[in-house]
Chain A
Amino acid sequence: MRNMKKNWWKIVAVIFILYVIIAGFLMPVPTLPILHETIRNLYFHVTMWFGMIIILMVSLIYSIKYLSKQKNEYDIVASEAANVGLFFGVLGITTGMLWANFTWGSWWVNDPKLNGAAITLLIYLAYFVLRGSIDDEEKRAKVSAVYNIFAYVMLIVFVGILPRLTDSLHPGNGGNPGFGKYDLDNNMRLVFYPAIIGWTLLGVWIMSLRIRMKKLQIEKLEN
């Protein structure tokens, strides 16, 4: 019973994700030209990006916390959150490319949002190369926290601010309707919001497992 109290959110995650997969493929969706059934990708691609941004935000917060408190634990959380964020990013970019191939007729188009996605992956891959190239634990934690904060701010500028200066093919930019406006009817919302929560919770779950693993490894090394 105590376990249930502590782990209820894991059950929520499983139920939400099962619901999203089943309802996402079976529930009725609005029939729109060009998009057709690919609109269902909204439940996977868009929500995975939301999950990624939230988890990367966790990484950022723990990096800031590390710099102010210098606790080793914060560094582990920051790096594992970045790891899971990177994983979600790869999933998001793959589902996005699949969708782009059906809707725009090409796997990759020159578009601020797509480029932002690619830059996100490059930044976090560089973050792990940086971590790998420093042996001293404390130094590694400090230097990578500094890079994480710097890179995240630049990323937000690149994804959130610069695209507004130019046109984009992506839904929600440059005259293209966003899904929120009139495509996202109430039926879709019923799946969309649980999907965001579900993927994020799943990410947190993977993260917490990896953190526990890391801590056990460190413990084993010390003894």
Chain B
Amino acid sequence: MASISKDIQQLLLKEFTLEWRNRHSLNGLLLYVISTIFVCYLSFKNIIEPTAWNALFWIIILFASTQAAFRSFITESKGRLLYLYTLTSPQAVILSKMIYNMLLIAAISVISYLFYALVLGNVVENSSLFLIALLAGSMGLAAILTMMSAIASKAGNGSTLMVILSFPVVVPLLMTIIKLCDQAIKGFFLSETYQYVIALVALNLISITLSYLLFPYLWRE
């Protein structure tokens, strides 16, 4: 167990270094969200209706995080994966990729929330609950999408396959997040919406466990 956590640390370090050397890709991702939100702003001007506000926001996040997670296995060269294979366990690889994507997607969704609220108006009444939903939601999205990216990379059919594989699988998570955010927008407190929080945490745990158990089979080829 100790060696796994050490491996994960090293692999995470590798991810950060690679991302930093490849800044244009990260900047591209940020620009992707920002320009999407700006296009939405220009088409809607101002959204007062909370349901529409919430749904549009999460659709943007869903596409952005799919795009973010998509890069995690496709961009790895065959040689590098083979090299990792000789060095470490598959569990360490999937966990490190997942943690990295969680941080990335959480950062992207917070930035998009700020920008989205800036241009389209902020309708959220209980922002702390909304932030909890945002962070827990990005964790779950990262867990599922990282695994789907691993599957899609094996098929080599590009982003179309990634999208059709992930969207139906992501739906239970997305519906729970949207429900919880809806409550946050209406100003409910955490104590009043605990069942959605529990559902969200349970879904996160299920997806992390499934990925942890199933990834080794994808890894050995």
A residues apposed to B, CB below 8 Å: 67, 115, 119, 122-123, 125-126, 129-130, 133-134, 139, 142-143, 145-147, 149-151, 153-154, 157-158, 161-162, 165-166
Contact = CB atoms under 8 A, between A and B. Distances in A.
Contacts, number: 76
Interface in B149-194: 151, 154-157, 161, 164-165, 167-169, 171-172, 175-176, 179
B112 to A, nearest CB: 25
A134 B172 CA distance: 27
B214 A126 contact: no
Given A146-B217, A150-B147, A151-B169, A162 B164 contact: no
A134 B217 contact: no
Contact of A150 (B155, B164, B175, B214): B214
Contacts of A149: 210, 214
B3 to A, nearest CB: 25
Contacts of A146: 151, 214, 217-218
B4 interface: no
Given A134-B155, A139-B154, A126 B217 contact: no
B113 interface: no
A133 B155 contact: yes
Given A126-B165, A157-B206, 14 more contacts: A67-B214, A119-B168, A119-B171, A122-B164, A122-B167, A126-B164, A134-B155, A143-B155, A149-B214, A153-B210, A157-B172, A157-B203, A162-B175, A165-B196
B221 interface: yes
A130 B168 contact: no
Given A130-B161, A157-B203, A151 B151 contact: no
